[in-house]
Amino acid sequence: MELRQLRSLVTLVESDCNVSRAAERLYMVQSAVSQHILRLEEELGVHLFMRQGKRITGLTDAGEKVLQHARRVLAETGNILDVGRDHVEDRSGILRIGTTHTQARYVLPPIVKRFNRDYPRVELQIHQASPRQLVGMALENQVDFAICTEDLADQPRLTTVPSYQWNRSVIAPPGHPLLLEDTIDLPALCRYPIITYVTGFTGRGHFDRILHKAGLEPHIVLTAASTDIIKTYVRERMGIGIIASMAYAPERDADLACRDLSHLFPWEVTRIAYPEGKYLRRYQEHFIALFKRDIAERVSREQQPGMRPV
Amino acid sequence: MELRQLRSLVTLVESDCNVSRAAERLYMVQSAVSQHILRLEEELGVHLFMRQGKRITGLTDAGEKVLQHARRVLAETGNILDVGRDHVEDRSGILRIGTTHTQARYVLPPIVKRFNRDYPRVELQIHQASPRQLVGMALENQVDFAICTEDLADQPRLTTVPSYQWNRSVIAPPGHPLLLEDTIDLPALCRYPIITYVTGFTGRGHFDRILHKAGLEPHIVLTAASTDIIKTYVRERMGIGIIASMAYAPERDADLACRDLSHLFPWEVTRIAYPEGKYLRRYQEHFIALFKRDIAERVSREQQPGMRPV
DNA sequence: CGTTCTTACGTGTGTCGTAACGATC
DNA sequence: GATCGTTACGACACACGTAAGAACG
């Protein structure tokens, strides 16, 4: 068995079982990849791929199993290379972050900026996806860190680092009747059409559960994956917006009133996740430290009510 | 980077950093192993080993890190080979069991016998070690299964399967004054010299904690790692023996009286552990199933009071 | 002086690329 | 006929073994 062969196997699967395309990605000719697979199958004594004539159509059961282990082999060889890179030159490299729109737009910017100042020669990549996708991307080593709130707790093959906590706020156009209330409670919220996040995003799960427990049926008039969309329709007076508190920017959103709702909903924990056992390069550890430090500073500086350190 | 190189690295460390001996184990000449290490160091740009002149004296920090990942790479390639073996011939292979004396001597025999009847062409290896050592052996893939009671719970990189529960019994020569008591309690036990297991073995931890909580100071006159030794000195009338209940064999130990102590101590859980993510061959899964089934049958058949299924 | 590791060099295996062939849609 | 995968073959690279050299106790 050779690492090359495993590399070909994984790339082939990621190229929809198209040998030609896999070969391109690997900067090799088709025949080489083909041979890798054939030799691997020969050595193991199992067909890893199902074929119709000569067309490869998919993985066999054995292929699925081998693929999983092959992925981990490659991940670990990647870790070994990273140990080397860190000793040769620990100030440059790539940092691939997978995260949701909310984090990328409202939380990461100051952190990323500072990180870039500390490590100007590290190339930063921000990949945007849904929490569920992010879990897969972290596991398949398509990103170094997955940063989000959902789906990360108790994930068996991921190490997760809690980075900060946040809660929700309600936004509404100035003069909206909700804003006249002294203290906002759940029934008050449910008296108006609500615009909030799509299921699976940004604390939507707990939001639904709390309202359901209270026996309330909110009138959710529109949902979106990103806060910008929500704000847009709140401005259009389609309803009140329930958003993550850190997504309210006082300057830019001066035309929207905002009220904290921390007393109504549980605090959400945003986590940084990476594959269990992954070797963290110096700058990767630095990023995690920076994340926590920045949140702590921001909270104490801006007195933001809907956000707090872990 | 090549798998061969990683293999050489791991073997070299397991050969006390002696290149000649590592080469022997790998059926290669010294120079080949030497080259593997040098090329790997060259590619990574780090010294993995510390040297005094040409003598290799130990791993560097980077070497330690690389070693860990290299071990996992090899474990995963082993899993891949196992997937193949299972499809080629799933009735023969090797099963390496690491366990303590108590399990090997008093619990495993009927299970092993039955397993051998089901899979006569699987070579069984039983490696005996302390619970602490067993954890290391499982992690470093020196055994397939580690079976013991201590040190396995919440081990991060091991999957553990609870297999059965057991409690303690006291053994004493016939006519011993303790046997006249109606119900035996902790103070009663502490009135006599006690012979039991060494710290770290067979439930000794909970034993100590319970007595300490009760404010009792037992007079422990002798400790041993295996029940046979304990029995021997109980026969010599050096004291009463506190042993795992399954270690009392009514026929063979007819010259010793035995009383169950389940009412005094917490139940211990014996677990089967293997590296997280390990591919289990057919016969390995069968062994685990057999283990549980056999215990259930034994308990219901023999009405053994100090043993129960999970 | 034996042990231990590295370096030098030749041989053979094996991998990759070119190219032709065979299959499938 | 176009796309796709396998087979055949040659060139090159490289890993291993032999053997000599260098460093330590």
For residue A189 the two structure tokens come to 């919220």
- Contact residues, chain B, for A8 at CB < 8 Å: none
Q: Return the closest-CA partner of residue A134 out of A271, A277, A278.
A: A271
| Model pLDDT, residue A310 | 85
- Answer for the pair B148, B100: CB distance below 8 angstroms, yes or no: yes
- Which DSSP letter does residue B178 get? G
Order of strands across the sheet that contains B93-99: B122-128, B93-99, B145-148, B268-275, B158-166, B307-308
Count of Cβ atoms closer than 10 Å to residue A128 Cβ: 16
* A228 pLDDT above the threshold of 90: yes
Confidence of residue A262 (pLDDT cuts 50, 70, 90): very high
Report CB contact under 8 Å: B62, A3.
no
Query: C-alpha distances in angstroms, B297 versus A142, B111, B250, B305?
Result: 49, 11, 18, 13
b/e per residue, A236-253, with b = 16+ CB within 10 A? Answer: eeebbbbbbbbbbeeeeb
- Contact residues, chain A, for B62 at CB < 8 Å: 83-84, 87
| Model pLDDT, residue B171 | 95
All residues at 6 or more sequence positions from A159 whose CB lies less than 8 Å from its CB, including other chains? A273, A274, A275, A276, A277, A278
| Model pLDDT, residue A124 | 95
| Model pLDDT, residue A171 | 95
Query: C-alpha distances in angstroms, A230 versus A149, A165, A180, B172, B273?
Result: 19, 21, 22, 77, 50
What is the average per-residue pLDDT within A67-92?
95
Query: C-alpha distances in angstroms, A243 versus A168, A195, A224, A260, B217?
Result: 6, 9, 11, 10, 61
Q: Which of residues 8-27 of B touch strand D (CB under 7 A)?
A: 27
For residue B63 the two structure tokens come to 């070497």
Per-residue pLDDT tens for A104-129? 999 999 999 999 999 999 999 999 99
In this complex, which residue's CA is closest to the C1' atom of nucleotide C5? B54
| A146-155, A199-208, A275-284, B295-304, range with the lowest pLDDT | B295-304
| Model pLDDT, residue A155 | 85
Q: Which residues pair with B122 in a beta bridge?
A: B93
Angle of helix B108-118 relative to helix B282-302, nearest 10 degrees, comes to 130
Q: What stretches in chain B show pLDDT beneath 70?
A: none
| Model pLDDT, residue B182 | 87
* A79 pLDDT above the threshold of 80: yes
Per-residue pLDDT tens for A17-58? 999 999 999 998 999 999 999 999 999 999 999 988 778 888
| Model pLDDT, residue B156 | 83
Q: What is the largest CA-CA distance in chain A?
A: 75
- Mean of pLDDT over chain A: 92
Report CB contact under 8 Å: B69, A84.
no
Report CB contact under 8 Å: B76, A65.
no
Is the alpha carbon torsion for B228, B234, B238, B244 positive or negative? Answer: positive
Phi, psi dihedral angles at A271 (to 5 degrees): -125, 155
Confidence of residue A306 (pLDDT cuts 50, 70, 90): confident
- Contact residues, chain B, for A3 at CB < 8 Å: 1-3
Protein CA A20 to sugar C1' D3 (Å): 10
**What span, in angstroms and rounded, lies between the C-alpha atoms of B157 and B165?**
23
Q: Is the CB of B50 under 7 A from strand D?
A: no
Q: Is the CB of B36 under 7 A from strand D?
A: yes
- Contact residues, chain B, for A69 at CB < 8 Å: 76-77, 79-80, 83, 277, 279
CA A305 from chain centre, in angstroms, equals: 24
| Model pLDDT, residue A156 | 83
| Model pLDDT, residue B255 | 93
Provide the whole-model pTM.
0.89
* A197 pLDDT above the threshold of 80: yes
Confidence of residue A154 (pLDDT cuts 50, 70, 90): confident
| Model pLDDT, residue A304 | 76
- Answer for the pair B74, B7: CB distance below 8 angstroms, yes or no: yes
What is the average per-residue pLDDT within A204-226?
91
Q: Return the closest-CA partner of residue A72 out of B77, B9, B158, B68.
A: B77
- Among B80, B89, B92, the strongest candidate for a mutation testing the A interface, having the largest count of A CBs within 10 A, is B80
